[in-house]
Structures are given as C-alpha cells and as structure tokens.
Amino acid sequence: MILDLLGGIGLFLLGMILLTDGLKAVAGDALRRVLSRFVRGPFSALLSGATVTMLVQSSSATTLTTIGFVSAGLLTFPQAVGVLFGANLGTTSTGWIVAVLGLKISVGKLALPLIGIGALLRLLTRDRLAAGGLALAGFGLIFVGIDTLQAGMAHLAERFDPSQLPGETFSGRLLLVAMGIAMTVVMQSSSAAVATTLTALHGGAIDLTQAAALVVGQNVGTTVTAGLACIGAATAAKRTALAHILFNVITGVVALAILPHFVRLADALAHGLEAQPGALALATFHTVFNVLGVLLLLPWTRGYARLIERLVPERGPALTRRLDATVATVAPVAIEATRLTLREIALVLSEYLQNLLQGRPSRDTLEPAGRALDETRKFLGRIRSDPETKSEHQRHIDTLHAMDHLERLLEAGRDSKSLQWLERDAVLAAASGRLSEGLAAIAPWLSGNEVPAPVGDLATLSRALAETRKTHRLANLEETAAGRADAGDTLARLEALRWLDRLGYHAWRAVHHLADGNEDEPGVPKGMAEAEPPA
C-alpha cells in the first residue's frame, strides 16, 4: 500500500515535470510574448496568467516569468499581481484533468503507448518535436501515476476509517489545513498534493469535507516554496512572493470560515455531470475557491499592489535592480532584464562621456556604472540559451557583444589623458564635437522612449572618426618628418585620435547589439563592423 502510494506520487510528479518542461520548450518564448503583448489592465492580466498556466501546467513557471518581467520592467507590479491571480486560477485545471479523465476513465493502460511514443520522439527527433515527445511522455506518466495512486488508496480505504481524521469542528479543519500545507511542502507541488487528495476522496479514504480542508491547505502551501525562493532575491521577487502569499492566505481564511457552504455548493454543481461526484465536487470547490479570491481582490488590484510596494520598499543599487537571481534560469526573461540593464548603464556612460568631452568630467557617475557592469557580467554568466532556439540564442549573443563593448567604453572613459589635446588641435576639437553630438542623440532611445535606435547615425559617425584618424595620421607624420612638428606632440595627438575613434566605435557597436542588430547597417562595408580601431 505504502509503496503504491509513494510510487504513484513519484510517477505523477515526474510526469508533471516532463509535461511542463516539454510544453515550455515547445512554446519557445511564446510565454514571454503572450505576457508582454496581452497584459494591459487587471482583467487582461488575469486572463493571460490563467491561460499561460493552463498551457504549461505550471503556476511556478508563470510566477517566475512574471517576477522576471517585473524585474526587467516589461510589466508593472499591478499588472503582475493580476497575472498571479490568473496563475492561481489556471493551476486548478490539473484538478479537472485528474477528476474528469484520470478517475472517471482508467487510462493508465492507454497512457503506456503515449509514454513509448513520447520517449521515441525525444530520442529520434530534434527541436520542438523532441520537446513535444517529452510532453507526451509526461502526460502519459501522469495517468500511470494516478492509476498507481488509486490502487494504493483502495487498500488504504479498507484499513482506514475517515472518521479518524478531524473535519467536523473548526479546530479539526485547521489541523487538516496544516496537513495540506505540509503535503505541498513535502511534494513541492500543489498539483501533486491535490491529485493525491482527489484520489483519496475517490477511493473513499476521506470524505468531501476533509478533502476540501486539505485542498485549502494545499493552496496555501504552494506559497511556502515561493516564500523560501525569494530569500535574498531582488525586490521584485519579494513583492511578488508576498502578493502571492497574502492572496492565498486571505482567500484561504475566507474559504475555511464558510467551508461547509462551499462543499454543499460544489457538490450541487457536480451532480448534473457524468463523473464521480466526490472528485468532481472537489475539483469544482478548488476552482470556486480561487474564483472567490479573484472576485474579492481583482477590483482592488492597484490598491493591493500599492500596499505590497509599501510593505517591501525598493532597496539596492538602482542600475542593477532588474537582475534577479531567481529568474537567471529563465533565459528569455533573464536576457531581457540584462539588455534593459545594459541600456541604463549605456545611458550613464554616454552622459559621462559627453561631460568628459566638454571638459566637465564627473567620476562620481563612472564608478557606479563600473560596479553595475561587474554585477551584470556575473548575472549574464548564469544564463544559458539553447542554440536550437535561434531568436533567443541570437539575443543572448547580442547581449554578450553589447556587454563587451560597454566594458571597452568604460575603460576608454577612465583613460582621459588625451583631453588636453582636444582644444589645442582644430581637427581633434571638431571630431570631439561630432562625437559629443552623436552620444547626445542616443539618449532618448537609451532612456526607453519610443524612438528608433540611431544605429545608422552612429555607424556614419564611427566611419567619419576612423577616416579622420587615417588622414590626420598621415598629415601629422609628414609634418613631423619635415621638422615642422614635435615628435612627442605628434604621438600624443595621434593617441587622442585613436581614443576618439575607440569611443565612437564601441558606442556604435554597443547600441547596434542592444537594438537586436545582427546585420551590417546599409552602407557599412562588410567586415568593417568586426574590425576594431587600433588600440
């Protein structure tokens, strides 16, 4: 009996892991696109969160992505709260799958071919078809796990009297809620805990009231993992975890207080459908419970978000606030957070360089940018992208390119010994003025305004600086050879030209890669982009 129960839970958990991983791989970065494109107000956020969670069968995946989107600035926190409400609603779909398919129809034997076909697809194919095979095998394992659980619960029902468990008194229900929380924490999956409870109810090991109290606890228990995960995380993760915890606790308290009425309502709604009334009633209760929580809090989403923001104020360096270690494993979100962070660092560097070229250097702004680049490099080192997911992998490569060019720009900014020559040489002064204007032109785009990235203008500027360096170099060397210029002064002027050329080149390439550019700009000779100016 115990072995059947443990094996059934293990098979169900393994099936959920494979199904979720497979569906996420099949979807590619669709989850990122859906959330970023369709989330506007609280209602659209709710629908998006529920839809995505039902598609990938994982509220954790939705929650992690939401945390990353808030960190990356792609979602506001009030929008994220709506997505979390939807994720809680969407996760109830697993209960319906178990109640309607897993318990009404014994599909364990029918699921075995799915596992075989899925495994073959995973081994013999590539890309999304292989990921689909993984999801198919996971789907089959879920039902094999349910069948195994049913066998264990049938033996348990023969030896166990449901009256031994509390449930009729309020204190008894509280104890069952605590047991439900413990089940979710131990299994690390509210879906597996709910599936186990549904199977126990179907097998007669517990009654509907006891099962309902357990489900309340399991719904609250899923927040324990979120709470533990946010320890030491960024502010966005802490706010999201707290919003998740408070939502589940508030709705859990209300549901527990009126649990008998809930159970009667859920049972009445299930009577008209052709399924096991107990299991279907519990699945209905699970959904109604979460719908009630949404109805209670959705109208107050903005106020609720403001409360959470007051409880968890923003702390830490502003430039790296988007870099949340909890989403480093979610490549599309982590890459986007890094890119937006690099844009902000690039803005700080461009403003510093403008002031430097105009003789007003401010080292106070340069060092925070350097520290932010160090933190960003560490965060970027944790990200892994799949080469098979071409668009995501290319964005990752572009981000690495941009990081490299910004570090070179920082190094050049620290080397200001050539400044004294900018006013003493007319050619250098003109080149410096053009570069300063070019840096000023990228500020609106780096600030996040809806304007095109001036990549073409920067490419033209970089070409002009390179041409100036070449022609002025020859002219200066001829003057020196003829004895009309001091050799030391000439070398210093040439170094100043190379310095300006480096600044223009790295600014151009950084913006090019941050703007998703992986093609040469019109008019730029092939290969010039990769040809760095001489050091």
Can you list the domains of the chain with their CATH numbers?
Answer: 2-311 (no CATH), 325-514 (1.20.58)
What pLDDT digit, counting tens, does each position of 154-165 carry?
A: 555 455 555 566
Amino acid at 363: R
Cα 353 to Cα 437: distance, rounded to the nearest angstrom: 11
Count CB atoms within 10 A of the CB of residue 39.
24
Average pLDDT (394-422) is: 88
Question: pLDDT category, 102, cuts 50, 70, 90?
Answer: low
Question: pLDDT category, 527, cuts 50, 70, 90?
Answer: very low
Return the DSSP state at 273: S
Cα 275 to Cα 95: distance, rounded to the nearest angstrom: 13
Q: CA 180 → CA 188, 194, 298, distances in Å?
A: 12, 9, 26
Non-local (6+) Cβ contacts of 341 within 8 A are 319, 320, 322, 323, 372, 376
- Across 1-15, 192-206, 227-241, 442-456, the highest mean pLDDT is recorded for 442-456
pLDDT at 40 over 90: no
pLDDT at 166 over 70: no
What pLDDT digit, counting tens, does each position of 238-256 carry?
A: 888 889 889 989 888 888 8
Cα 350 to Cα 507: distance, rounded to the nearest angstrom: 8
Cα of 97 vs its chain's centroid, Å: 27
Cα 98 to Cα 104: distance, rounded to the nearest angstrom: 8
Cα 64 to Cα 54: distance, rounded to the nearest angstrom: 15
Higher pLDDT, 317 or 273: 317
Cα 301 to Cα 342: distance, rounded to the nearest angstrom: 31
Average pLDDT (487-509) is: 90
Q: By three-state DSSP, how is residue 231 classified?
A: coil
pLDDT at 99 over 70: yes
pLDDT at 22 over 50: yes
Cα 214 to Cα 208: distance, rounded to the nearest angstrom: 10
Tell me the H-state helices in 358-486. Answer: 363-381, 390-414, 426-441, 443-446, 455-481
CB 343 within 8 A of CB 373: no
Higher pLDDT, 330 or 342: 342
Question: pLDDT category, 510, cuts 50, 70, 90?
Answer: very high
Cα 14 to Cα 138: distance, rounded to the nearest angstrom: 7
Non-local (6+) Cβ contacts of 175 within 8 A are 166
CB 67 within 8 A of CB 111: no
Percent of the chain with pLDDT over 70: 80
pLDDT at 146 over 60: yes
Q: What would the two tokens of residue 131 be?
A: 């990921």
Question: pLDDT category, 518, cuts 50, 70, 90?
Answer: very low
